[in-house]
Structure 1
C-alpha cells in the first residue's frame, strides 16, 4: 500500500458520487466505505501516491453534483504497515 486516500461526506449519495469520480479519475482501488453515523460516510481508496492524490482532489468536488456536504478529505502517503490492519 503506497498511499491511502479518504473523502468524508454527509450523504451516502455524495459518497458514492465521490467514489465513482475517484475511480474514474485515477488508478485507485476501494478499500472500504465506512458509515460513521448521522449520515456521515467515508470512502477509503488506495494506490500509488500520485493516483490517490489525484483521486482525492477529484472526489472533493464530486459532492457538489449531489448536494451533499464535504466533511473532510486526506491523503496519507506511505502509511505505516500496521495501519492496514485497522482498515
Structure 2
C-alpha cells in the first residue's frame, strides 16, 4: 500500500466559490472535487506529452522518407520511383 502525502492549496476567492458550487452540484466534498480536478489535469498533461512525442517521431520518419526518396531519385540510373514502394495503386494488391 502506498503512503499518502498531503498538500495545502490556496485559492483565490472566485476560484474557491466556483469549486464549492461544483462540489455541491456534483455531490462531492470540496476536497474530492479539488483532487479530481488535479487528477484530470495530470491526465491531460500526460496525454499532451505523449501526443507531442508521437508527433516528433512522425516528423523524424517523414524526414527519413524524404531523404531516402531524394537519394533514390538523385541516382544516375533511371530508377522508377514506383518500383521502390511495396504498395501499388490500382487493384489494391501489394508486392
| Alignment TM class, shorter chain as reference | under 0.3
Q: Indicate the structure (1 or 2) with the bigger Cα radius of gyration.
A: 2
| TM-score scaled by length of structure 2 | 0.21
| TM-score scaled by length of structure 1 | 0.22
> Which has a greater percent of helix?
2
> Which has a greater percent of strand?
1
